[in-house]
Amino acid sequence: MTPYDVLIIGAGPGGYVTAIRAAQLGLKTAIVEREHLGGICSNWGCIPTKALLRSAEVYRNLKHARDFGLSVDGARVDFPAVVKRSRAVATRMNTGVGFLMKKNKIDVIWGEARLTRPGEVAVGPASKPAIQPQTPPPKGTLGPGTYQAKHIIIATGARPRVLPGLEPDGRLVWSYFEALKPERMPKSLLVIGSGAIGIEFASFFHTLGAEVTVVEVLPQILPFEDTEIAAFARKAFEKAGMTILSGAKVTALDRGDDSVTVTIDTETGRREIAAERVLSAIGVVGNIENVGLEDVGVKTERGTIVIDEMCRTNVPGLYAIGDIAGPPMLAHKAEHEGVICVEAIAGLHPHPLDRRMIPGCTYCHPQIASVGLSEARAKEKGFEVRVGRFPFVGNGKAVALGEDQGLVKTVFDASTGQLLGAHMVGAEVTELIQGFVVAMNLETTEEELMHTVFPHPTLSETMKESVLDAYGRALNM
């Protein structure tokens, strides 16, 4: 077989987007996948969780129908139907990726890939994943064999991090795989970890009626968020009825017949909490094992592959993108890295990825979104800052929606007016944050933002008001 120009290992969001861009650039392209087209994101992560959270949002609105002058009798949760819808959404996404591969004339090779030498990959039969069976290979898929390519891009993604004593067992102690497809709705759930994964599932199960406790070893929940935003979100979670334990460590799990007793060390002493199910959400770790990295001499560091600004490893012709190339471990970061990588291969001289401008979103209730430096981090870096804040309670659209609990916070360099960071909590902020992302990429200052006309009435007006507040000019507060 004629060598490929580009061969990608892994068909997650980073891998398949990279393959499409390579094909657009006229490169003969193949992609190797062992489990699911679309990867974890489309099948067991980003997309199906949002389907679950959408069901929770609809149910929350039904429960508060009277607040809007409506009467809805008999609203209840059909939990199997909720899960079924989520899985149907995942299947639709999986099928869509297959269509895109066919449309762009990208060869799909089904199996497990291993680097044998620079420019060569051996693909063997796909082993059965630990959690779920593979998606059936699409029609026209190539099978096991040895394949050559001028450029090989590793995009094997990540899996749930497992700590000793907290190992998921598939029934009582869950990873996010089991949380997406539980056998039944638990009456109580203890979530270990308050990052995006933990908080999203905590929000989902709590909204549908479970008693939820979140345990975080650090003093702050949502540890990567601005302190003020995290505190606002915590207050909202606790007001809704969640129990939050920060500065707390799970030291033991006692697994019973149909429940778990968890021992937790807190600042005030040791306590035990019983829950029907436990979700271990302590992060993810890159899939760098069994790829053959050591066979070809690829340099790794702290569980990730070392790359340069164009995603090149230390081995010529070999690249890495996405979760295995280091944090932040986000689908949109993987996609952008992949485009940069393949455009560099094609000689287009793309701009390197600026990780400071990668937004992060958490789709709980209320939603959380951020980009750039937090106030504390900006001060640590030596900036003299101007900080603006605007609450949703001062926004007409938020009040009309019945979503008046939220906050937008902006951080500026006091000397230049450069927007250093933006941090938001409230309704639909995961959709709003891109406005600040665009502004930062265009090196926009406070002056341009102040002179931008925002439509009324919209939630986006909170963004402009936050900018105005940083300079003592807020109009609606």
Taking the CA atoms of 103, 88, 142 and 118 in sequence, report the sign of the dihedral they define.
Answer: positive
Burial track 304-325 (b if 16+ CB lie within 10 A, e otherwise):
bbebeebbbbebeebbbbbbbb
β-pairing, 211-216 with 188-192? parallel
Residue type (1 letter), 464: K
330 is in an annotated binding site: yes
- CA atoms of 15 and 350, how far apart (whole Å): 18
299 is in an annotated binding site: no
428 is in an annotated binding site: no
Query: Of 336, 351, 423, 456, which one is the catalytic site residue?
Result: 456
372 is in an annotated binding site: no
332 is in an annotated binding site: yes
- In order of 60, 147, 278, 299, the CA distances from 1 in angstroms are 56, 8, 50, 30
198 is in an annotated binding site: yes
406 is in an annotated binding site: no
Supply φ then ψ for residue 223, to 5 degrees: -65, -15
373 closest CA partner among 352, 353, 350, 354 = 354
477 is in an annotated binding site: no
472 is in an annotated binding site: no
45 is in an annotated binding site: no
Cis peptide before 328 (omega within 30 of 0): yes
374 closest CA partner among 226, 230, 196 = 226
Residue 445, helix vs strand vs coil? strand
446 is in an annotated binding site: no
Cis peptide before 366 (omega within 30 of 0): yes
354 is in an annotated binding site: no
Q: Decide if 456 is catalytic.
A: yes
Residues annotated within the binding site for NAD(+) are 193-200, 216, 283
Residues annotated within the binding site are 50, 193-200, 216, 283, 323, 329-332
Residues annotated within the binding site for FAD are 50, 323, 329-332
Please identify every residue annotated as catalytic.
456
